[in-house]
Amino acid sequence: MIKRTAFPLALRISLLGTILLATLGAHLATQAAARRSEQSSGTRALLIAVSAVDERVAWASGSLGTWVRTVDGGDTWTTGRVTGADSLQFRDIHAFDDRTAFMLSIGNGSDSRIYRTADGGAQWEIMHTNPDSAGFYDCMDFWDREHGLFVGDAVDGRIVIRTTADGGVTWTRVDAARLPAAQEGEGSFAASGTCVETQHGGHAWIVMNGATRSRLLRTADYGRTWAVETLPITARAGSGAQSVSFRDALNGVVFGGGYAVQPEDVLVAITADGGDTWTPQASPTFKVGTWGGAFVPGAPVPTIVAVGPNGAAFARLGAAGAITTAWTPIDSSNYWSVGFASPRAGWAVGTQGRITKLSLP
């Protein structure tokens, strides 16, 4: 027979108080405000994409051929323009360290390009120029220093994806036979550099939109084979799936937005099975939805951050992968993209050279 120990009343009250305080503390932690600080980018150009390497090194890119970089956590930023590219919009950037980064410019035909620097931005080399006059590139990502991919709008009913296996020296188009047929007018929003996401082991996800459907393309073998899923994100001309982020090979989130957003639209959905199935979720109260979003790496509780022209907000996810807290506003500034190195160091970028450093509770 198990002998039960009778705790004194005072001790039981003390234990109950400790439990209640711990529970309250956890609740307050999830509801606490994010810390934010405006930083001086050194430019007034629109900043469209950001790549956070670690807590000290981050890069951003934008209009007028502009790039910016910090190596001290944002205390100071170096800014520059790519020679001969003053008219280009660099709508995506991916950095590996304080010296090496890739940028993707958008535009019709040859205005869509891939550039690389290996000296901290002093020199930029064109690695690839769109050979198709009807093409238009959207965003890119890398699995590692050798392997990466980018996606562009469909051309002649065929989705455009190119991959590299040699550090960006050559970019090979994925054969159309390996990809689903494109929807009419299908493409990705080149609004934040977050329409494609990679994870270890060759996983990648791309959000794309036609006139009436948002879709997800996914691969698990570095782009050799692809599957396609229909997303619950509302799509119409001018709005649809904008951004995708995964915290591992299974758990991901997609965000929708655009100037045609309606109050009843589904603008956030989550998956816990790598993208096979998606569940609609509550969305931030942004008038035009989310343009860029991301999981926060290393967060003790899974956390997602969303930004757009109407501001920034964050939410927590529970054990089942669903959003378990109300979206907590951060501010109402005009942002285009966001990226995190850790819960202590993230950056949101936007109009007029805006860079805001974020730290989450």
C-alpha span between 256 and 292 (Å, rounded)? 9
Structure tokens at 291: 């343009």
CB 222 within 8 A of CB 171: no
- Quick one: fold of 39-359? Methylamine Dehydrogenase; Chain H (2.130.10)
C-alpha span between 250 and 204 (Å, rounded)? 11
Q: What pLDDT, in 10s, does the model give residues 155-200?
A: 999 999 999 999 999 999 999 999 999 999 999 999 999 999 999 9
- Sort 111 into a burial class: Cβ within 10 Å, 0-12 / 13-18 / 19+: middle
- Residue 295's CB is within 10 A of a number of other CB atoms, namely 20
Residue with tokens 């993707």: 104
C-alpha span between 134 and 353 (Å, rounded)? 31
SS3 assignment, position 208:
strand
- Residue 147's CB is within 10 A of a number of other CB atoms, namely 18
Q: What pLDDT, in 10s, does the model give residues 313-353?
A: 999 999 878 999 899 999 999 999 999 999 999 999 999 99
Q: What pLDDT, in 10s, does the model give residues 296-314?
A: 999 999 999 999 999 999 9
Residue 92 confidence (pLDDT) above 90:
yes
* This prediction's pTM: 0.91
Locate the domains of the chain by residue range. 39-359
pLDDT of 321 reads 81
- Residue 97's CB is within 10 A of a number of other CB atoms, namely 14
CB 294 within 8 A of CB 338: yes
Residue 252 confidence (pLDDT) above 50:
yes
Residue with tokens 């238009």: 136
Instruction: Please state which of the ranges 7-16, 78-87, 273-282 shows the lowest mean pLDDT.
Output: 7-16
